[in-house]
Structure 1
Amino acid sequence: MSQNWDLFRFFLAVARAGSIAGAAGRLAESPATVGRKLRELETALSATLFDRSISGVRLTSCGSRILARAEQMEHQAQLIGEAVCGSDGQLAGTVTVAAPSGLGQILLAPQLRELHNLHPELRVMLLLSTSKVNLLNREADIAVRIGAPKQERLVGRKLGEVGFGIYASDLYLDALGDFETAADLEGHNIIAASGDLAQTVQNQEFAAVSAACNVALTTDSIFAQLEAVKSGLGIAPFPAYLGQSHPDLVELLPGHLQASADLWLLMHPDTCGMARIQAVQEFVTRICKTALAGGGAATCL
């Protein structure tokens, strides 16, 4: 068949998402369009590429055999686009950056205007979640992660070290005495974590020291935690860069949370050298290092 990259683009999206609906969301297309493109490719190849089920799709043996070749096509298409975009000295195109929700909203989003002013044709797609994207599956171009990387094939650099603290609002503390030891937390309201948020470094350590506290709210969103603490509902742990960014919050028992975590910037080895990705990673690196160096509970390495 005449190799149609557009059809393989849909094939890769479905393979990575594990479902047509998931691929549609990533491609900003309707599920009907994704299904139609997939059928076109299967017809052109005279092969079934996916086994369909109610729970999603799974690559057939044929689909598995062509996956690596399709990724090679994707890489070549990216290089062609890079050559065209860079031919006039301008940086253009989309770079997807995945980051923890608190870090992305507090540190990155407010600074992106500067990057846009430098490179107006460069578009950043910012993915904020407690869930980790798979860079090897090209779910993002750049990932900023708290914690050491586990995929050895990725290209990465350590940006610094994130510290954590226990925070309450002035509103909550107005009628209370000083906190001198962890025992002083007993009987106080806390904003507990659930889901992926409960697995974060700060919430795991906080859970161990707050067993005698009253759970006023449980949530899987760090921003729901934050707003509840700001309203005076209770106490919760946050990364230092988040807690220190709100002047109405007070750190209780400074230094009591001993855990810290490395902050890493990671990229796919096949795309890390592209000019637009280099420009964005350099920008993100500078923002994060500056923030960590300026925060009292974090040390830039």
Structure 2
Amino acid sequence: MQTVSGPRPAPVMSQNWDLFRFFLAAARAGSIARAAGQLAESPATVGRKLRELETALSATLFDRSISGVELTSCGSRILASAEQMEHQARLISEAVSGNDGQLAGTVTVAAPSGLGQTLLAPQLRELHNLHPELRVKLLLSTGKVNLLNREADIAVRIGTPSQERLVGHKLGAVGFGIYASSLYLDEIGEFETAADLAGHNVIAASGDMAQTVQCQEFAGISERCNVALTTDSIFAQMEAVKSGLGIAPFPKYLGRSHPDLVELLPGQLQATADLWLLMHPDTSGMARIQTVQEFVTRICKTALAGN
């Protein structure tokens, strides 16, 4: 029997997956600092994990410089294998959770309240009929959920994403219009120019809603209007407009969903906002999450076809 002195390096396949997770993050980000932000770790931790992996493999995986990190030829050769490990880790996660790729379990979807109530909720019966073991939890609160902390599986958000680690795609651009009820128009007649808004009642926004692009643009052209109501709820705003109290700006998909509303001065509001669907990279490949995101994507893209 041969004897050896000193510790023997572990075979590559026995290395901790966690080290390869740091390797993939750095390779994709091109910077230890950016990888740290995506992993919610400190740059020192990311650097230490990379050195541990390089020591275990007896190889240099990155060329380091002031501008960032770049894969060496060795690092490039093992990149595909590391990505396969990542995929297998996801499959294991699904198996442990009892779902193993089956269309069963709960998928939490966070969305803006108006979009979730008007577009998503009425369509979920179709998804349920197709996959009765699949349950959707719809979060329509005004606060933004943290996908990296797994507060939701899928988020539909208005505006450009700020967290680089999230994965997803743009669903389209949301257009906006100025709306009044048929009842209100019966009393005051048609509008021809923005100047015709002077003296009319508006349902003004407050709180976070006042900072939206449509409310800010509308505020600039409705300075000579009477504020009949101020609210931080788009649903209260909508109900007030439908009652004939006044006029307000809404996303066009929302305005179109209420046949008793009429768009005033089409094209007057020029602002648009991108709508995104986002997911956590570690769970985006799960079968149940993929199924729900495809369903949500189809609904939103159809609704936004007319902007």
TM-score (norm 2): 0.68
8 Å CA contact 1:144, 1:265 repeated in 2: yes
| Counterpart-to-counterpart distance in 1, 2:225 and 2:147 | 39
Could you say which residue in structure 2 is the equivalent of 1:105? 117
> 1:78 Cα deviation (Å)?
9.2
Between 1:217-226 and 1:121-130, the stretch displaced more is: 121-130
> 1:90 Cα deviation (Å)?
3.4
Q: How does 1:223-238 map to 2 (within 5 A)?
A: 223-238=235-250
User: Which of 193, 211, 215 is matched with 1:199 structurally?
Assistant: 211
8 Å CA contact 1:191, 1:217 repeated in 2: yes
How many pairs are equivalent?
Answer: 220
User: Which of 160, 172, 179 is matched with 1:148 structurally?
Assistant: 160
Could you say if the C-alpha distance between residues 273 and 189 of structure 1 is closer, same or farther in structure 2, counting changes exceeding 3 Å?
same
Could you say which residue in structure 1 is the equivalent of 2:268? 256
> 1:275 Cα deviation (Å)?
1.1
> 1:290 Cα deviation (Å)?
1.3
Counterpart residue identity of residue 286, structure 2: M
8 Å CA contact 1:82, 1:274 repeated in 2: no
- Superposition misfits of 4+ residues, deviation over 2 angstroms: 76-87
Counterpart residue identity of residue 118, structure 1: L
| Counterpart-to-counterpart distance in 2, 1:223 and 1:144 | 18
1:170 pairs with 2:182 = yes
| Counterpart-to-counterpart distance in 1, 2:241 and 2:124 | 27
> 1:198 Cα deviation (Å)?
1.1
Q: Report the 3-state secondary structure (helix = DSSP H, G, I; strand = E; otherwise coil) of the residue aligned with 2:300.
A: helix
Superposed CA RMSD in Å reads: 1.8
Q: Which runs of 5+ in 2 are unaligned?
A: 1-44, 46-88
> 1:80 Cα deviation (Å)?
3.7
Could you say if the C-alpha distance between residues 160 and 77 of structure 1 is closer, same or farther in structure 2, counting changes exceeding 3 Å?
closer
Could you say which residue in structure 2 is the equivalent of 1:189? 201
1:136 pairs with 2:148 = yes
| Counterpart-to-counterpart distance in 2, 1:118 and 1:181 | 48
> 1:84 Cα deviation (Å)?
5.8
8 Å CA contact 1:90, 1:119 repeated in 2: no
| Counterpart-to-counterpart distance in 2, 1:270 and 1:117 | 28
Q: Report the 3-state secondary structure (helix = DSSP H, G, I; strand = E; otherwise coil) of the residue aligned with 1:175.
A: helix
Counterpart residue identity of residue 262, structure 1: D
Q: How does 1:87-126 map to 2 (within 5 A)?
A: 87=100, 90-126=102-138
Could you say if the C-alpha distance between residues 106 and 155 of structure 1 is closer, same or farther in structure 2, counting changes exceeding 3 Å?
same
TM-score (norm 1): 0.70
8 Å CA contact 2:90, 2:286 repeated in 1: no
Could you say which residue in structure 1 is the equivalent of 2:39? none
Structure index of larger Rg:
2
Q: How does 1:12-91 map to 2 (within 5 A)?
A: 79-82=92-95, 85-87=98-100, 90-91=102-103
| Counterpart-to-counterpart distance in 1, 2:118 and 2:209 | 17
Q: Which runs of 5+ in 1 are unaligned?
A: 1-64, 66-75
Q: Report the 3-state secondary structure (helix = DSSP H, G, I; strand = E; otherwise coil) of the residue aligned with 1:91.
A: coil
| Counterpart-to-counterpart distance in 1, 2:238 and 2:95 | 41
